[in-house]
Amino acid sequence: MSSRLPPPIAPPAGGDVAYPQHTTDQSYVQQPNHSYPPNTYPQGQQGFQQSSFPVGQQTLQQSAYPSPQKLPQGQYMQDTPVNNYPIAAPQKVNIQHISNYHSKDSHREDNTYHPSLSPKQTTEAIVESAVARHHTRVDVLFLKAVWGGIFLSYGGFLEAVVGGSPSANTSNPGLLRLVEGLVFPLGLVLIVLTGMELVTSNMMIIELGVLKRRIPIWGIAYNWVVVFFGNLAGSLFFAAILVRYAGMVTDPIRTFVVNAANTRGSLPWHEVFLRGIGCNIMVCLSVWAATQAADVISKIVAIYLVLSAFVVIQYEHVVADMFLIPMGMMLGGGPSVGKYIWLDVIGALVGNIVGATLLSLSLYWIYLHGNPTPGKVTDKEKGPDSDSQHTVAPHQGANSWGNNSHFN
């Protein structure tokens, strides 16, 4: 058998080239293609290309498989000038207002990492907290205030337990006050970490929201009234059920509580009022510092360092007195109900309002006055009630509970 390929078959006139059927002849399959003289086939009909053998009766058109070398310049991407393709310029991102204020991974305006918020960001976070509190349903707000009164009474009772030492009161009263100041902040720590409500800190928070025009002015009365009576209910519940009838009052503790109730119930009204001013400045500053901190340990340290000051100085706090003075009255001491309401409910309350107002006005003027309104409240900060028809923040949307009411 000859090792050469069979002679080419002449193409029929006016038709495609008819190639032979597939064969098992290895000489035909494996032998390299031989070069045929040019123009052997008609235009557009070529023979076998090297290592390319069609199967069956197939036609191989040269025009269907163009050669890259024959394409015009610029046909392929690597040959195309670079300036013909637009290059996206980097976009400058504005991170002035950070919605996730409490994230540890937050960055400031200089795009550098900081573990805590700046004073301006902290004040803006307080405003967002005011909006969230305003859009909280009334029953939820009241229940959170009840737990706020209970938690703060825990700190008040710890103060009574520590301060009930007769020998320490006689030999070293200054050191005893310091110890009392270190145990009392437990109540505010629990309130901040669990997100409960305290009327004295809400005085600053809600006022900042009103000053920034994020909530209406009637939101002050709505929040303060609900939270005040919730704190009162929680404090009386703790004093009566968890202390008095639980048999937790022993003789040293009884003496301390009765003496403290008698002392606070005999002060002049103006002294209670002025002490209330100094007290709530420290309380609001402790909440502000806790908001500025990023992690739990920093929040606890900030609360303890600031709040212990008013306890050692013995300022007047209206919610703390809701536990201590009624507790003394239950034990047979303290002022009358009318005198308690006049001195410690009205006097301390008005003083606390003035102290919070002085601080909130100063924070607003320093950090928020003349600045753009902070961005809308994030979904995490929205309360269940979005009263869009009656607030200054209409972007909140409709009430998810069915209508635009704080009572549904």
* Domain coordinates in residue numbering, the chain: 119-374
**∠335-338-339 over CA atoms, to 5°?**
45
pLDDT digit string (tens) for 45-97?
Answer: 554 444 445 555 555 455 555 555 554 555 555 554 555 555 555 555 444 44
**End-to-end C-alpha distance for the chain, whole angstroms:** 101
Q: Distance between CA 82 and CA 64 in Å, rounded?
A: 29
Residue of 399, 273, 407, 290 whose CA lies nearest to 347: 273
pLDDT digit string (tens) for 204-262?
Answer: 999 999 999 999 999 999 999 999 999 999 999 999 999 999 989 888 889 889 988 98
Q: What percent of the chain has pLDDT over 70?
A: 61
The whole-number average pLDDT for the span 359-383 is: 68
Pair 140, 384: CB distance under 8 Å = yes
Burial readout 169-184 (b: 16 or more C-beta within 10 A, e: otherwise): beeeeeebbebbbbbb
Specify the range with the lowest mean pLDDT, choosing from 8-22, 102-116, 154-168, 217-231.
Answer: 102-116
Residue 341 Cα distances to 122, 144, 346, 349, angstroms: 35, 24, 6, 10
Pair 51, 44: CB distance under 8 Å = no
The whole-number average pLDDT for the span 152-169 is: 82
Taking 60 as the threshold, does the pLDDT of residue 21 lie above it?
A: no
**pTM of the shown model:** 0.65
Q: What is the DSSP string of 141-197?
A: HHHHHHHHHHHHHHHHHHHHHHHT-HHHHHH-HHHHHHHHHHHTTHHHHHHHHHT--
* Six token digits for residue 223: 């929040």
Looking at every residue in the chain, the average pLDDT score rounds to 75
Q: Distance between CA 197 and CA 222 in Å, rounded?
A: 13
DSSP symbol at 49: B
Q: Percent helix, strand, coil in the chain (nearest 5)?
A: 55, 0, 40
* Six token digits for residue 151: 């938690």
Look up residue 261 and give its amino acid.
A
Burial readout 276-307 (b: 16 or more C-beta within 10 A, e: otherwise): bbbbbbbbbbbbbbbbbbbeeeebbebbbebb
Q: Distance between CA 193 and CA 102 in Å, rounded?
A: 12
Pair 104, 296: CB distance under 8 Å = no
Bigger pLDDT: 159 or 54?
159
pLDDT digit string (tens) for 291-337?
Answer: 999 889 999 999 999 998 888 888 999 999 999 999 999 998 888 99
Taking 70 as the threshold, does the pLDDT of residue 109 lie above it?
A: no
What's the topology of domain 119-374? Glycerol uptake facilitator protein (1.20.1080)
Q: What is the dihedral of CA 270, 274, 276, 281, to 10 degrees?
A: 170
Residue 163: per-residue pLDDT: 79
Q: Distance between CA 234 and CA 191 in Å, rounded?
A: 13
Q: Distance between CA 231 and CA 378 in Å, rounded?
A: 28
Where helices occur in 165-314 by DSSP H, the ranges are: 166-171, 173-183, 186-194, 199-211, 218-237, 251-264, 269-292, 296-313
